[in-house]
Amino acid sequence: MSVAQGREYLAIPGPSVMPEAVLRAMHRPAPNIYEGALIDMVASLIPDLKRVARTAHNAAIYISNGHGAWEAALSNVAAPGETVLVPATGRFGLGWADMAQGLGIEAQILDFGKQTPWDLDRVAEVLRADKAHRIKAVLGVHVDTSSSIRNDLPGLRRVLDEVGHPALLMADCIAAMACDRFEMDGWGVDVAVTGSQKGLMVPPGLGFVFFNDKAAAVRAKMPRVSRYWDWAPRADPQAFYQYFGGTAPTHHLYGLRAALDLIHDEGIEHVWARHERLAQAIWAACEVWGQTGPLELNVSDPAYRSHAVTALRIGAPQGSALRDWVSRNFGLTLGIGLGMAEPDDPAWHGFFRIGHMGHVNGHMVLGMLGGIEAGLTALEIPHGTGAVEAAATVIAGK
Ligand SMILES: *Cc1c(COP(=O)(O)O)cnc(C)c1O
């Protein structure tokens, strides 16, 4: 029997759950884009965005998804024929590399597979061998949303410093910002990109690029930057329309204002701690289920697990069967496995992901885990008992 009627929980890694406050803020008539409240409100967003990225430097906003933010960042620092280094731990590193290649930039890829984080010794080797400093930037995905690996960005900075390589450190924080601790200035990240629809809890449609003075100097030496992607006027507009290279994404901006208020009212440190605690509860449940049965966390070392998304292996066809069951019977949507197998390969059905980013609390996570428990039971997939209790114990801080 289905018990799906009621409020649904979209537990996929983006778009994330949108808070009522965000939805309410967006539900309004079109504002005047020439003068008045909108103009003042947008000016207030910039310092609050920088507080989330933990930077005192520059912020540029784009009307785009994450792919747009990728392209925006690259367009400002690398010209066709130049080289970037991409250590990849899943689908998204490869995606950013592909975006670079589409711009005529040479992407040197170090692929570390789908289950282990960057091997920083190998990154160091490649940087050390680049005596001519052809590598202009290193593109690091902080949390790879397909594998749920959380990479060591401060470690990557250390490697660049130890080798004495001048490449920019560019971070994809799309799945990590306002979920996992990220310190742009403190960690020496030169460029950070994110999007609106994950930890920032706003519908898809806004991309953000943060850049420091070192990156601005690289931009200044570029022979040409696409007028639309150019971050300079967006970060330092002389007229309001320059923030967005045209008409402002009015309603998204109201949503963003509400979301930033939620984040700063809670406090960014507390936001990170909440994500960590809820992630630990999810891992505890998954470990118990896996004691007898096929369920397995994709990342074995907790130190390298995202606090925003968890990738799981359960064997085909159970991954898809479980997602179908909880969606049809429980009002819960789980994420598909991404990049673990080709979509036409039967093995594709052996994976799923849990999104736990943004506007998520204890009862949502325990309810979600209860739904997976019900699904495993209904589908007669072997699993250890006591998983939800284990998660509750973690939430209780015991
Ligand atoms: C979601 C995501 C992207 C892509 O964002 P889109 O909005 O889908 O273009 C890129 N990188 C990471 C790490 C992501 O989580």
- Give 245-298 pLDDT, tens digit per residue: 999 999 999 999 999 999 999 999 999 999 999 999 999 999 999 999 999 999
Residue 397: predicted pLDDT: 95
Mean pLDDT of the chain, nearest integer: 97
DSSP string, 141-201: ESEETTTTEE--HHHHHHHHHHHT---EEEEE-TTTTTTS---TTTTT-SEEEEETTSTT-
In the chain, which residues fall in CATH 3.90.1150.10? 9-16+267-395
Among residues 326, 302, 322, 358, the alpha carbon closest in space to that of 18 is found at 358
What is the pLDDT, as a whole number, of residue 38?
Answer: 96
176-199 burial string, b = 16+ CB within 10 Å, else e? Answer: bbbbbbbebeebbbbbbbbbbbbb
Bridge pairing between strands 106-111 and 83-88: parallel
Give me the DSSP letters along 232-281: HHHHS-SSGGGGTTSS--HHHHHHHHHHHHHHHHH-HHHHHHHHHHHHHH
Class of domain 31-265 (CATH, top level)? alpha beta
Element housing 110 (H / E):
strand 106-111
The pTM of this model reads 0.97
How confident is residue 205, by pLDDT bands cut at 50, 70 and 90? Answer: very high
Query: Measured in angstroms, how far is the CA atom of residue 149 from the centroid of ligand 1?
Result: 14
Residue nearest to atom 10 of ligand 1 (CA): 66
Is residue 317 packed enough to be buried (19+ CB in 10 Å), middle (13-18) or exposed (0-12)?
middle
What pairs with residue 264 in β-bridges?
Answer: none
User: Sign (positive/negative) of CA torsion 77, 81, 82, 87?
Assistant: positive
**Which residue is closest in CA terms to ligand 1's atom 6?**
66
Q: Do 237 and 79 form a contact (C-beta atoms < 8 A)? A: no
Q: What is the mean pLDDT of residues 75-81?
A: 98
Residue to mutate (ligand 1; options 16, 74, 92; most atoms within 8 A of CB):
92
Mean pLDDT of 308-315: 98
Q: Determine contact, residues 38/250, Cβ cutoff 8 Å.
A: yes
Residue-wise pLDDT tens digits, 139-197: 999 999 999 999 999 999 999 999 999 999 999 999 999 999 999 999 999 999 999 99
353 in a known ligand binding site: yes
Contact (Cβ atoms closer than 8 angstroms) between residue 176 and residue 168:
no
pLDDT tens profile 337-359 = 999 999 999 999 999 999 999 99
Q: Where in the chain is the domain with CATH 3.40.640.10?
A: 31-265
Report which secondary-structure segment, H or E, holds 297: strand 296-297
Name the CATH code of domain 9-16+267-395 (choices 1.10.3210.10, 3.40.50.300, 3.90.1150.10, 3.30.70.2860).
Answer: 3.90.1150.10
Q: Which of 183, 182, 169, 172 is nearest to 215 (CA)?
A: 169
Q: What is the pLDDT of residue 84?
A: 98
pLDDT in tens, 21-32: 999 999 999 999
17: pLDDT confidence band, cut at 50, 70 and 90?
A: very high
**Mean pLDDT score, 42-66:** 98
| Predicted local distance difference test score (pLDDT) of residue 234 | 98
- With a 6 A CB cut-off, is 62 part of the ligand 1 pocket? no
- Supply the pLDDT for residue 263: 98
Confidence of residue 303 (pLDDT cuts 50, 70, 90): very high
Rounded average pLDDT over 223-235: 97
